[in-house]
Structure 1
Amino acid sequence: MASDDGFSDFFYTAPDGLRLHTRIYGEANTSGWPVVCLPGLTRNACDFHELALYLSQDAERPRKVIAFDYRGRGRSDYDPDISHYNVGVEAGDVLAGLSVLGIEAAAFIGTSRGGLIIHVLGALRPAVLKAIVLNDIGPVIEAEGLAYIKIYLDRSPTPKSFDEAVGAQRRVHGGDFPALADADWARMVAAICRETEDGWVPDFDAALVDTLAGADFSKPLPDLWPQFEALAAVPLLAIRGGNSKLLSAVTLEDMQKRHANMEAITVEGQGHAPFLETGNLPEQIAAFLDRAESKSFNSKA
């Protein structure tokens, strides 16, 4: 049963026994493809709250929305073996959750790491993907962007109050996100942090940062062009932050050349990764899903 917040909490068991969590919005909705939301490296299901409410409460086509907490994030169990914090294991966890929920296929929205997991799902079980929204991620990851993520995770402070936590996020990311308002920053902190006796801490297993140790960001990272091109038959919307350090404008242009069923949006005034609840992004995402499902997608093929 949905809570007053518009969602219900659902827990399931991963293949290796960890207890994992999802949020389900519009549980009784059957009017369109369900939507699966996959967050970034250290983020969780809260990132999609406003977008999920919008999609699940749409007047014409309310959709069921499932937002995942990967292992080690949000309300999911932490993994004692940090080698399991990888996109392959996490893709398997997503498939396990969908199996328990009885969902054979869905539209997928992936932010950053979530988009990488979508590439893996395309290799493991391509039939599960009905439509794709990639939020600031593509087959080429700029090493500069990943290095930047590692730096600010390593230096993440422990603010004593909510206001201090908001200020800390603005100091780190404000230059890339001049379009955000005070309410946006507050909503971000409420989504990614939890209050403890020591202050406001990131809501993920601190060992996740260790998975980036030893990476050489001075060299180009392996690309995923073969995996991306395998998604060519799936309608795709790619969203890029105009100030993104992770997804370049050149890569976005190359993606459009290689994918006949792709649309693209650049969100000015935002970096990695755009807040999907801001501006008219919810309307644009909903319209894309409707076009894809009604087979009126404007294919370039």
Structure 2
Amino acid sequence: MTGDDIFYTASDGLALHARSYGPSTGAPAIVCLHGLTRNHKDFEPMIAALGMPARFISVDVRGRGQSARDPNPANYNPAIYAGDVLVLLDQLKLDRVHLIGTSMGGIISMILMTMIPDRISRVVLNDIGPIVEQAGLQRIMTSAAPASGFESWSAAAEAIAHAQAVPYPGLSPEDWMAFARRTCRAEDNGLVVPDFDPAIITPAPDKPPGLAARIGMWRLFAKMKPAPLLVIRGGHSDILSAKTADKMVRRHKRSSLATIPGVGHAPLLNEPESLRAIRHFLGETAG
């Protein structure tokens, strides 16, 4: 897609990257935050399909895409990522933004609401909430284990299709190739490798979080109340349960829920149901 690269420097000196799509002035700014192993390209299908008169700023979280790999793996955590996003907003002089956060990007969005609630207009949480289902987390950590490399793009697409067949049963071979090209990169030796630092992958905990951690996450979610909220859930998500999604909507009085049939964790956001929900939710301010 046509866009403009944004290079900036984190507070600790790490070189970071984002990409801007659409008009740079005179349009609402929508900041897109990807999941654990994805990058800024994850939102390109959504941006292209929406066709909204808005500026989309899609971030490469540190350790992914064109952002530098962090020499200290301890910095691969959502609190640090949120601080990086704040640096980006300040560099771009953006006083008010919408947020779209997929999975880990949704956790970053929640943290940003505790940091700069007055600068966030609306939030879309894509298949994430205060409670993350243990089985889904273990599946993600297992399937995300980086491969040593694939000999071709076709081999990469086939491997990704095998690993992600459960959440995305309806994708065609062409879709899987596009998926591979969004999530992998070709190295100088010709190998195709996942486009992230392997150090971001840590073993999933054996047990679900305790009571104190669960209470803490619901308290974090409560900080979302100043901004209207759209919760998107994959119809057979193993990360965000229907029970948790319903509870989120009950607790946030200015929220709505869109359940996307035929997909798991996480919707790609170019599904017709996702597009309708996002257009409706952002239409008043991005239209």
Fold shared, TM-score > 0.5 on shorter chain: yes
2:111 to 99, 120, 125: 120
CA distance, structure 1, for counterparts of residue 139 and residue 89 of structure 2: 33
**Other-structure match for 2:24:** 28
Tell me, yes or no, if the aligned pair for 1:144 and 1:217 is still in contact at 8 Å. no
Q: Aligned-pair distance for 1:185? A: 1.6
Structure 1: gaps of 5 or more residues: 295-301
* 1:50 and 2:59 aligned: no
Q: 1:217 is matched by which residue type in structure 2? A: D
Tell me, yes or no, if the aligned pair for 2:146 and 2:194 is still in contact at 8 Å. no
Q: TM-score, normalised by structure 2?
A: 0.92
* 1:17 and 2:8 aligned: no
2:205 to 212, 216, 227: 216
**Other-structure match for 2:272:** 279
Q: 1:19 is matched by which residue type in structure 2? A: A
**Other-structure match for 2:80:** 89
Q: 1:289 is matched by which residue type in structure 2? A: L
* 1:229 and 2:218 aligned: no
Could you report, residue by residue, the CA deviation over 1:192-238 in whole angstroms, capped at 9, with x for unpaired residues? Answer: 001122521100111111xx23x523233633111111212311111
**Other-structure match for 2:69:** 78
Change (3 A) 1:157 1:279: farther
**Other-structure match for 2:263:** 270
CA distance, structure 1, for counterparts of residue 231 and residue 55 of structure 2: 22
What does residue range 140-179 of structure 1 map to in structure 2 within 5 Å?
Answer: 140-154=131-145, 156=147, 158-179=149-170
* 1:37 and 2:32 aligned: yes
Q: Aligned-pair distance for 1:157? A: 5.7
Q: Which moved more, 1:73-82 or 1:259-268?
A: 259-268
Q: 2:35 is matched by which residue type in structure 1? A: G
Query: What secondary structure sits across from 1:271 in the alignment?
Result: coil
Q: TM-score, normalised by structure 1?
A: 0.88
Could you report, residue by residue, the CA deviation over 1:60-105 in whole angstroms, capped at 9, with x for unpaired residues? Answer: xx10110000111000111100101110110000000010001112
* 1:202 and 2:194 aligned: yes
Could you report, residue by residue, the CA deviation over 1:103-149 in whole angstroms, capped at 9, with x for unpaired residues? Answer: 11211000000000011111111112100111110111111111111
CA distance, structure 2, for counterparts of residue 36 and residue 255 of structure 1: 22
Query: What secondary structure sits across from 2:74 in the alignment?
Result: helix
Which structure has more relative contact order (CA 8 Å, sep 6+)? It is: 2
**Other-structure match for 1:244:** 237
Tell me, yes or no, if the aligned pair for 1:142 and 1:247 is still in contact at 8 Å. yes
CA distance, structure 2, for counterparts of residue 175 and residue 94 of structure 1: 32
Tell me, yes or no, if the aligned pair for 1:158 and 1:198 is still in contact at 8 Å. no
**Other-structure match for 1:7:** 3
Q: Which moved more, 1:126-135 or 1:191-200?
A: 191-200
CA distance, structure 2, for counterparts of residue 183 and residue 259 of structure 1: 39
Structure 2: gaps of 5 or more residues: none
Moved >6 Å (runs of 4+): none
**Other-structure match for 1:298:** none
CA RMSD of aligned residues (A): 1.8
Q: 2:242 is matched by which residue type in structure 1? A: A
Length, aligned pairs only: 282
CA distance, structure 1, for counterparts of residue 266 and residue 24 of structure 2: 30
CA distance, structure 1, for counterparts of residue 41 and residue 141 of structure 2: 22
CA distance, structure 1, for counterparts of residue 206 and residue 190 of structure 2: 33
Change (3 A) 1:30 1:249: same
